[in-house]
């Protein structure tokens, strides 16, 4: 174990929250099989409504508060009837990556460096946005780490989102911003667009981007598809498509796929989006997926004075991380 913490940048108000009240350690000290949390408090690559720089701190606070009101002992999931108890040593909070405003290269390498370290060590990086651009450096580091750990391995990609984010460029923001993250990920060496899936897309999308995805074999499920076929079936098909000839899955959770009536605290709101129940069902559909890395992005606390957005997002993390944060308990 290294002697000093070198990557953590403490929040302004000490002692600060850690995700799920987990311990605070350097990225190199996270072990195989553990979740390694990387904060990405950056929103200057968003083109309009800002505030996601406060997202990591809000997620840390919300997960800690929600965890405090959950049972410490054995509990029963009312949906499944499964009995479980909290697991130990399952998550390490590695603090925030260093963000350099107006220097996309430095910010990208800072985030990617942390997720690469975690992936190389066979830990699972969980990156907390920030705007959705930051998903690219998080996945870049994961991709590099996977290439080191298993040079021939390939990964599939699922993005739950109200938007495609597959533009090549966005006006004055150029090629690296919250509308291009999926496009940049598609250019990584150990993924193919045919293993990329989008779920929850809403409203109008760019026809050129959609055609480019589908011509290369990618798959898009709209919010309407989720309403019609059901969240569980949509995710079953999505996972099957994403994992064809792949070894691991990278998941990008953009909270803005959820209808703005439920979740207003995000930069690019959508209507007729998916409901909280559907969102949770989508994440439950990944309970056995070979998760290699993930991120959750676009939580913008200043845009939601009711604070419900950060708690909905925290619940998403409870869902997707359930198999790590709990251990099954046999029937008595």
Partner 1 sequence: MPLRSAPLPRMAGQLSFMRSQTKSISDVRSGDLAVIGIPFEDTSASHAGQSLAPRALRETSVYFGWHANPQFSHPVDIDARQDISTDGLHERLCDLGDISSGPDDAIHAALKAATLQISGKGACAIILGGSGPLSETVRGALPECQTAQLGGIPDEALDFSIAPLTNGRELTGELSHSKQLAAFSEWRDSSKPLFVRFDLSVFETSLSALCDRPRLGGCDLDTVAQWLGALGQHDVGAIMLTGLNPSRPGMGVVKVGQRLMVTALLAFIYARLGFGIDHPDRQTSKENVLA
Q: Which stretch binds partner 1 (CB under 8 A): 36-44, 77-85, 98-106, 263-271?
A: 263-271
Q: Which residues are paired to 274 by β-bridges? A: 258
Q: How far apart are CA 21 and CA 68, in angstroms?
A: 9
Does an H or E element contain 58, and which?
helix 55-68
Binding-site size, partner 1 (CB under 8 A): 36
Determine, following the binding rule CB under 8 A, whether residue 302 of this chain makes contact with partner 1. Answer: yes
In the sheet that 196-201 helps form, which strands lie side by side, from edge to edge?
91-96, 35-40, 124-129, 291-297, 248-254, 155-160, 196-201, 219-222
Taking contact as CB under 8 A, which single stretch among the options 42-50, 134-142, 235-243, 317-325 is the one that binds partner 1? 42-50
Least distance in angstroms from the C-beta of 6 to partner 1: 37
Which residue among 135, 186, 195, 202 contacts partner 1 (CB under 8 A)? 202
Near partner 1 by CB under 8 A: residue from 9, 70, 271, 277: 271
Please tell me the distance from the alpha carbon of residue 182 to that of residue 167, in angstroms, as a whole number. 8
Task: Note the maximum CA span of the chain.
Answer: 62
> What distance in Å separates the CA atoms of residue 308 and residue 266, rounded to the nearest whole number?
11
Q: How many CB atoms lie within 10 A of CB 82?
A: 14
DSSP-derived pairing of the beta strands 291-297 and 124-129: parallel
> Per rule CB under 8 A, is residue 174 in the interface with partner 1?
no
Write down the least CB distance from residue 149 to partner 1, Å: 36
Piece in contact with partner 1 (CB under 8 A), picked from 25-33, 47-55, 64-72, 188-196: 47-55
* One of 225, 254, 295, 298 touching partner 1 (CB under 8 A): 225
The answer to the question of residue 187 lying near partner 1 (CB under 8 A) is no
SS3 call for 207: helix
Selected binder of partner 1 within 304, 311, 312, 313 (CB under 8 A): 304
Q: Which residues bind partner 1 (CB under 8 A)?
A: 47-49, 167, 169-172, 201-210, 220, 222-225, 259-261, 264-265, 269, 271-272, 302-306
């Amino acid at each position: 174990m290294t002697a000093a913490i070198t990557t953590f940048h403490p929040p302004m108000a000490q002692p600060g929250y850690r995700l799920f009240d987990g311990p605070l350690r350097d990225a190199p000290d996270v072990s195989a099989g553990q979740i390694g949390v990387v904060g990405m408090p950056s929103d200057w690559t968003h083109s309009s409504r800002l505030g996601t720089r406060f997202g990591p701190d809000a997620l840390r606070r919300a997960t800690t508060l929600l965890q405090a009101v959950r049972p410490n002992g054995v509990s029963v999931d009312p949906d499944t009837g499964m009995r479980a108890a909290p697991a130990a040593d399952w998550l390490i909070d590695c603090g925030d990556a260093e963000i350099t405003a107006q220097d996309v290269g430095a910010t990208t390498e800072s985030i990617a460096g942390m997720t690469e370290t975690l992936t190389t060590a066979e830990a699972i990086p969980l990156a907390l946005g920030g705007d959705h651009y930051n998903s690219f450096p998080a996945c870049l580091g994961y991709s590099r780490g996977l290439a080191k750990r298993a040079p021939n391995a390939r990964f599939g990609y699922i993005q739950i989102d109200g938007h495609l984010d597959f533009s090549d460029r966005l006006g004055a923001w150029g090629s690296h911003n919250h509308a291009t993250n999926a496009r940049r990920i598609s250019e990584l060496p150990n993924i193919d667009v045919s293993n990329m899936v989008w779920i929850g897309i809403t409203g109008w999308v760019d026809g050129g981007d959609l055609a480019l995805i589908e011509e290369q074999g990618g798959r898009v499920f709209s919010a309407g598809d989720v309403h019609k076929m059901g969240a569980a079936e949509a995710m079953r098909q999505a996972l099957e498509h994403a994992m064809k000839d792949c070894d691991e899955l990278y998941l990008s959770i953009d909270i803005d796929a959820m209808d703005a009536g439920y979740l207003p605290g995000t930069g690019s709101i959508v209507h007729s989006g998916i409901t909280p129940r559907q969102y949770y069902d989508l994440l439950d559909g990944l309970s056995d997926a070979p998760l290699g890395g993930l991120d959750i992005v676009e939580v913008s606390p200043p845009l939601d004075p009711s604070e419900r957005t950060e708690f909905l997002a925290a619940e998403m993390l409870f869902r997707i991380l359930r198999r790590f944060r709990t251990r099954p308990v046999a029937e008595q």
